[in-house]
């Protein structure tokens, strides 16, 4: 079974600074996808970024980027120039490609951006 | 852009009652997923449908059933409700085998009293 671990239950950062959220996963599969989802106080689940396991290049979406270390099974999210609207719960998620494509989530990291 | 629609947004039921949650996926998406998120928990996969056929099943109680209809909307039926069923129920849709990105609806908050 696949597991996803987020070791930081809570983090805080000052506005305009950079913060990195950690995620590790365990799988014996070779073809999979990794995602970061954001859940603000509204409870909406918002897709932040996606990484294909077969790609060596780290994904980037504006202020959000990942550091994907396949051998170490690590998938961290870096948020640059943090904004107040980034305050949310962040979930790391794993999906096997070619399987049912269900998402397996970590327990989440609650990020607070302080003014 | 069109998003996933869920109805109702809030639902209050008593123990042992029945609830039906509806999901309308993004147009042209071929796969629907249902997740349950308890208070302070991460979302847990319940069930999925690909092209109207059940494709996978997670830790879904036997009291729950779901289906996807010819217009691709999906319904989650929950019977003999228990207090522990109180949760946020998400529906997500994707264009499987293309982008693998799942887009979530706003969720239905079910409260069982």
- In the predicted model, what is the mean pLDDT of chain A? 95
Find all residues with CB under 8 Å of A55, minimum gap 6, and list them. none
Find all residues with CB under 8 Å of A7, minimum gap 6, and list them. A22, A24
pLDDT band at B69 (very low <50, low <70, confident <90, very high): very high
A100 touching B, CB under 8 A? yes
Q: Nearest CA of chain A to the CA of B82: how many Å?
A: 23
pLDDT band at B95 (very low <50, low <70, confident <90, very high): confident
From chain B, the residues in CB contact with A5 under 8 A are none
Nearest to B104 among A45, A104, A108 (CB): A45
Find all residues with CB under 8 Å of A91, minimum gap 6, and list them. A6, A36, A37, A38, A39, A45, A105, A106, A108, B42, B43
A105 touching B, CB under 8 A? yes
Query: How many angstroms separate the CA atoms of B80 and B95, rounded?
Result: 33
Which pLDDT belongs to residue A64?
98
Task: Indicate whether A39 pLDDT > 90.
Answer: yes
Task: Indicate whether B3 pLDDT > 90.
Answer: yes
- In the predicted model, what is the mean pLDDT of chain B? 94
Task: Indicate whether A22 pLDDT > 80.
Answer: yes
Binding-face residues of B in 24-63 toward A, CB within 8 A: 31, 33, 35, 37, 41-45, 48, 55-56, 58
pLDDT band at B24 (very low <50, low <70, confident <90, very high): very high
Q: Nearest CA of chain B to the CA of A97: how many Å?
A: 8
A51 touching B, CB under 8 A? no
Helix (H) / strand (E) element for B90: namely: strand B87-94
pLDDT band at A51 (very low <50, low <70, confident <90, very high): very high
Task: Indicate whether B96 pLDDT > 80.
Answer: no
From chain B, the residues in CB contact with A33 under 8 A are 100
From chain A, the residues in CB contact with B43 under 8 A are 45, 91, 103, 105
pLDDT band at A100 (very low <50, low <70, confident <90, very high): confident
């Amino acid at each position: 079974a696949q597991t996803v671990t987020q070791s930081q239950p809570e983090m805080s950062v000052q506005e305009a600074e950079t913060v990195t959220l950690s995620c590790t996963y365990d799988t014996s599969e070779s073809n999979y996808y990794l995602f970061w989802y954001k859940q603000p106080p509204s409870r909406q689940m918002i897709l932040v970024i996606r990484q294909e396991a077969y790609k060596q290049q780290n994904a980037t979406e504006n202020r959000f980027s990942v550091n994907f270390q396949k051998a170490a099974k690590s998938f961290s999210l870096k948020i640059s120039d943090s904004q107040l609207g980034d305050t949310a719960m962040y979930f790391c998620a794993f999906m096997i490609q070619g399987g049912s494509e269900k998402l397996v989530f970590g327990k989440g990291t609650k990020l607070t951006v302080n003014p | 852009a069109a998003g996933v629609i869920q109805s109702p947004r809030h639902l209050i039921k008593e123990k042992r009652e029945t609830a039906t949650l509806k999901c309308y996926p993004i147009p042209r998406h071929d796969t629907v997923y249902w997740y349950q998120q308890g208070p302070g928990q991460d979302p847990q996969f319940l069930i999925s449908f690909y092209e109207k056929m059940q494709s996978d099943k997670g830790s879904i109680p036997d009291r729950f059933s779901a289906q996807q209809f010819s217009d691709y909307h999906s319904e989650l039926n929950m019977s003999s409700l228990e207090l522990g069923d109180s949760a946020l129920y998400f529906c997500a849709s994707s264009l499987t085998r293309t982008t693998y990105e799942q887009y979530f609806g706003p969720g239905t908050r079910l409260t069982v009293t």
